[in-house]
């Protein structure tokens, strides 16, 4: 775990971002920091990238720490949130971006991969959300991640899409359970986005096909998705609640 580069103040808004060392989560970290939030970068194992994310935040004058924690381990996640509160004084935004994405036809997917995916994508979301709703201060926001593939039904994505369908269901229920708390709960469901995870899971031909599908005729970028998250996390987005935002450039 790293330490913050400057002393904190009581009025700092703080974000916890799981999966914050790479991809969309990494861009969310720097985008929220640019809005003045202190950020806890949650990561599973890549300490080098997590510390690099912290340095990016510090380079723009922000504050961040990196904390290693398995999102599906309730004790580890409780400790991460404890650290956020002890370091920055509280938690105002939680962005749960950590996920697995093994791809194969349903008939061929190894069930061990299915179990690992469910542990991270479903149990992990449940565990992170439990901590979020226990800790978020009034005016706060919880943002989970789904995927537009839930509706697009691409071949080879059955397990991943099923897990993200579960994320959408629990998030929409949770938004209603938070009545009276002044905390918003939403899901961002990106379409094909140019991350290492996506590019590593698809060959060049498939990437080109997916990039041609949106009317905007390109893949999404981590910046595109981070802007949506930043809006939902901001006071300007606080009237958006209990929604699935399909940020995919118009694929239908």
Judge whether 103 lies within some domain.
yes
Q: 9 lies in a domain?
A: no
> Is 3 a domain residue?
no
Query: Which residues are marked as active site?
Result: 160
Q: Which of 33, 123, 19 is nearest to 69 (CA)?
A: 19
Burial of 116 (0-12, 13-18, 19+ CB in 10 A): middle
- Distance (Å, whole) CA 198 – CA 69: 23
Asked whether residue 85 is assigned to any structural domain, the reply reads yes
For residue 25, tell me if it sits in a domain. Answer: yes
The answer to whether residue 8 is domain-embedded is no
How far is residue 231 from each of residues 41, 228, 240, measured CA to CA in Å? 19, 5, 10
Q: Judging by DSSP bridges, how do beta strands 136-145 and 38-43 pair with one another?
A: unpaired
- Answer yes or no: is pLDDT of 3 > 70: no
Show the domain range for 121.
14-245
- For the segment 154-201, what is each residue's pLDDT rounded down to a tens digit? 899 999 999 999 999 999 999 999 999 999 999 999 999 998 878 877
Reported as a single tens digit per residue, the pLDDT across 38-67 is 999 999 989 999 999 999 999 999 999 999
CA–CA distance, 85 with 229 (Å, rounded to integer): 22
Give mean pLDDT, residues 145-152.
Answer: 94
Please state, in angstroms and rounded to a whole number, the distance separating the CA atoms of residues 200 and 50: 20
When pLDDT is cut at 50, 70 and 90, the band that residue 10 belongs to is low
Whichever domain contains 112, its CATH number is 3.40.50.720
> Looking at residue 2, what is its pLDDT?
47
**CA 163 remoteness from chain centre:** 14
What is the reported pLDDT for 79? Answer: 98
Average pLDDT of the chain to the nearest whole number: 93
Determine, yes or no, domain membership for 7: no
What would you measure as the largest C-alpha separation in the chain, in angstroms? 54
pLDDT digit string (tens) for 72-116?
Answer: 999 999 999 999 999 999 999 999 999 998 889 999 999 999 999
Question: Any idea what the Cα angle at residue 226 is, between residues 180 and 174, rounded to 5°?
Answer: 25
For residue 11, the model assigns a pLDDT of 67
Residue of higher predicted confidence among 102 and 10: 102
**Domains of the chain: total:** 1
Residue 6 confidence (pLDDT) above 80 = no
Alpha-carbon Rg for the chain in angstroms: 17
pLDDT for the residue numbered 44: 94
Whole-number pLDDT of residue 196 = 81
* Cβ-contact 233, 32 below 8 angstroms: yes
Rounded Cα distance between 229 and 28, Å, is 7
Considering the entire predicted model, what is its pTM? Answer: 0.92
Residue-wise DSSP of 53-98? HHHHHHHTT--EEEEE--TT-HHHHHHHHHHHHHHHS-EEEEEE--
Q: How confident is the model at residue 35 (pLDDT cuts 50, 70, 90)?
A: very high
Task: With respect to residue 145, please indicate whether it lies within any of the assigned structural domains.
Answer: yes
């Amino acid at each position: 775990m790293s330490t913050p580069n400057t002393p904190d103040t009581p009025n700092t808004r703080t974000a916890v971002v799981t999966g914050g060392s790479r991809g969309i989560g990494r861009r969310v970290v720097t985008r929220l920091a640019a809005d003045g939030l202190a950020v806890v970068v949650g990561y599973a194992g890549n300490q080098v990238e997590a510390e690099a994310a912290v340095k990016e935040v510090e380079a723009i004058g922000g504050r961040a720490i990196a904390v290693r924690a398995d999102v599906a381990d309730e004790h580890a996640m409780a400790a991460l949130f404890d650290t956020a509160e002890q370091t920055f004084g509280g938690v105002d935004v939680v962005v749960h971006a950590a996920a697995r994405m093994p791809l194969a036809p349903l008939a061929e997917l190894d069930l061990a991969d299915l179990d690992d995916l469910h542990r991270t994508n479903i149990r992990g979301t449940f565990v992170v959300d439990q901590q979020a709703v226990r800790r978020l201060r009034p005016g706060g926001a919880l943002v989970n991640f789904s995927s537009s593939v839930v509706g697009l039904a691409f071949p080879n994505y059955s397990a991943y899409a099923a897990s993200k369908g579960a994320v959408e269901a629990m998030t929409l229920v949770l938004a209603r359970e938070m009545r009276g708390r002044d905390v918003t709960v939403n899901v961002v469901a990106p379409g094909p986005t140019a991350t290492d995870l996506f590019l590593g899971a698809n060959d060049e031909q498939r990437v080109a096909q997916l990039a041609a599908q949106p009317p905007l005729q390109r893949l999404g970028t981590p910046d595109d998705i981070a802007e949506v998250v930043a809006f939902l996390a901001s006071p300007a987005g606080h009237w958006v609640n209990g929604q699935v935002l399909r940020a995919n450039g118009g694929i239908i």
